[in-house]
Structure 1
């Protein structure tokens, strides 16, 4: 959950995270008999504008991020890591804008049906805003795809831009993926700024979060002095 603060500079916000941990004395693969529930409130700095865009690494062949029947859909510490499948970028979801082989532009992100990733609020917001604002010109797709598909699209010059979307990094352009010793360089906008689609989705969601535009998602609570 995100709540926009009254920041000195736009881009800061409070991150509110309900948390539960087992508190019994021993460790084991079982449900804990005692637990502690608490809420973390953290002031988040601006993290979505790294110079030259975000650079990602895929996982080694002997590691896996999540698996069917596992808990990739839940908010657990074990889920924070890279993957060979194009599902998440560490602690955020990974979106690619490319040209399909039929020439149409497509914004693609991994689906939720196999419960490998969470139904995250930033992911959902990006999809809804993309369909609302860009659906006439771009196919918005939730579909399985792999790093091999990204490599093929890169070799054919079909990748247009990419971004990661999540709580900490908000919406951050991705400029490179390092995979097994090789770099996949992803186009950025002029002067290494986010690409056109990334910028449109990010600016729209930013305006909603900070009440710069009226939207059903934005609820303003007056602050008492």
Structure 2
């Protein structure tokens, strides 16, 4: 399919804000990509001015939640090159989510071409400073007007972008996490491993409770026994126990993060022992008390690496290694960010350069 372009007139384009005034998820670029699905095929791919979507009040996404999305970033290197970080992993995960939600897949190479076309048109929106980037949000929603529980026959796929600064305004400092043993995010056999909107809606109530208590994120436990650690809010979770890196296995209720996979690959490349195994919250607390647990950190596209300095569980707070940024947290963060911005070697071929 050929992508048509409907660019915004030069005099109508907005001025991107300075890098030091960027916040996450509130500013959007001039254009968006869109294509439509109907009669069993995708059609009319186009880049158009950023604007509202018109949907029938009976659009099935509004009633039955058939919607998925992805998140990745474009980075501007010091020499002006534009990088994407492992974008095909995001395109593949987008299709895994689509299959789980009974939605049509998008050809991964075409999906990447569409994103590159959009980025080239809005290249002026990519920040210049390290740490800032252009956030990219591919989305698919069921647009067919129909009341009745079944997969929709019509869909809208669109991609929006916007410049972002640091995910956490407080910077690369340890965050505090709240362990929820009352509410759950997902259950095995459900849709926890898909990047679907319902997973995030299910997390809001506990997240608001955590925020009121002064905590940044929720650490979710399994939905059956409420003993086993799963993930943290918008991130996967890692524990440095002695000199091993431990993370929960992908058991069907955890999102398979691209940054998670990158951390595991880097750790093994560096000779660090990685164990993907079940870990209970009781073990975490006991390991903190004994001093065996040297670091906790989260990983995700938005924040890259988030060191954890405090865990709150059953009305008690546990400080991790004096609440400071750990050695491995810093190392993984600096290495991944360095690769993304072209400042460090890329032995894995993770970086994809967007051609002018």
Contact 2:267–2:273 (Cα < 8 Å) also in 1? no
Distance 1:152 1:27 in 2: 51
Residue 116 (structure 1) shift:
1.5
1:94 CA displacement: 0.8
Matches within 5 A, 1:1-225: 1-5=72-76, 7-25=127-145, 29-47=149-167, 50=170, 52-61=173-182, 63-80=183-200, 81=203, 82=218, 83-84=220-221, 85-99=228-242, 105-112=243-250, 114-133=251-270, 135=271, 138-187=272-321, 192=324, 194-215=325-346, 216-221=349-354, 223=356
Rg (Cα) greater in structure: 2
Q: Are the structure 2 counterparts of residues 165 and 30 from structure 1 closer, same or farther at C-alpha, using a change threshold of 3 Å?
A: same
RMSD: 2.1
Quote the residue 1:102 is aligned against. Answer: none
Change (3 A) 1:27 1:181: farther
Segments of 5+ residues of structure 2 without an aligned counterpart are 1-71, 78-126, 204-217, 222-227
TM-score by length of 1: 0.84
Residues 141/70 of structure 1: CA separation in 2 closer, same or farther (3 Å cut): same
Per the alignment, do residues 58 and 25 of structure 1 end up closer, same or farther by CA in structure 2, a change over 3 Å counting?
Answer: farther
Higher helix share: 2
CA distance in 2, matches of 1:115, 1:44: 31
- Give the Cα separation in 1 of the matches to 2:274 and 2:304: 20
| Distance change (3 Å), C-alpha of 1:28 and 1:184 | farther
1:96 and 1:107 in contact (8 A); partners too: yes
Contact 1:161 1:188 in 2 (8 A): no
